[in-house]
Amino acid sequence: MMRQKEFARIVLLSVLALTVAVASAGAAQEAQEQPGQEKPAAAVAETVFEGVVKVGLGKYFYLPSAKGFDIFIQGTVEGQDASSLEGKEVRVKGALFKDDPSIFIADSIDIKEGNQYRNVFTRTSEATVEEHVGASQRQEFQALQITRADKSEDWQGREKGKVYGKLETKNAGEGQETYAIAVLDNQGKEVGTVLVDSATTYAKYYIRKLRLFDRFWFYLNIKDTVDFRVRRRTRELFHADMLFAGLY
């Protein structure tokens, strides 16, 4: 008789425990499905790069440890542009730019002085990436197949395009430089010159970044064609604004 009572008590306790467990699971699921309730977002680890800055210009600089990224500064570094960081050992904290993962937005920059780091930049506003020509935008620039200086139909009627060649720089005095592009055909022969009216800082930054190379694809806004008589004599093709320069 005692064994039967003990057995019945054990069964009752087991049933109660199972009921509580089922009720708890149901409550948890119901809370999860409640409209308007959100799960807490997982914490995102901050990305940190360290090393010596190789190239800097305008708002962009290149750090070998951040391979594949151009680091963008929203603002200045103690009143100066990114060129002030060249040759200095830095620590950069930040995150990838949501619209283009090739750009890394710097939230803070510290310069190493002795055995310590000193902060020289902290981002205080939303990043507005300037002059950047992303991979998707570059697809809009079709390669111009220029064969002769007197064949203007190779470029006329187009607002933008890219040409392969070498950049020529001339000193215009008072610290100013003028640019022209010696356009090369598929055999590497020069077929003419593009007169560069303006070049973005981003394009200049990339040319400095790729300083081991002397030939690039130049991405251009195409402007006025040079007069036919002048073109035949000088092989100057057209005027353009240079937006970007790269290896492809």
Give Rg (Cα) of the chain.
Answer: 31
Give the amino acid at 113.
E
* 66-90 pLDDT tens trace: 998 999 999 999 999 999 999 999 9
Residue 218 · residue 181 · CB < 8 Å: yes
For residue 242, the tally of other CB atoms under 10 A from its CB is 23
Within the chain, all domains assigned CATH 2.40.50 are found at 47-122, 135-246
Nearest to 81 by CA among 120, 128, 124: 120
Asked if pLDDT for residue 37 goes beyond 70, the answer is no
Please give the share of the chain, as a percent, with pLDDT higher than 70.
82
Chain-centroid distance, C-alpha 137? 12
The model's pTM is 0.78
pLDDT category of residue 215 using cuts at 50, 70 and 90: very high
Residue 102 · residue 135 · CB < 8 Å: yes
Residue 222 · residue 238 · CB < 8 Å: yes
Mean pLDDT of the chain: 84
Asked if pLDDT for residue 36 goes beyond 60, the answer is no
* 96-112 pLDDT tens trace: 998 888 999 999 999 99
Which CATH code fits 135-246? 2.40.50
Fold of 47-122: OB fold (Dihydrolipoamide Acetyltransferase, E2P) (2.40.50)
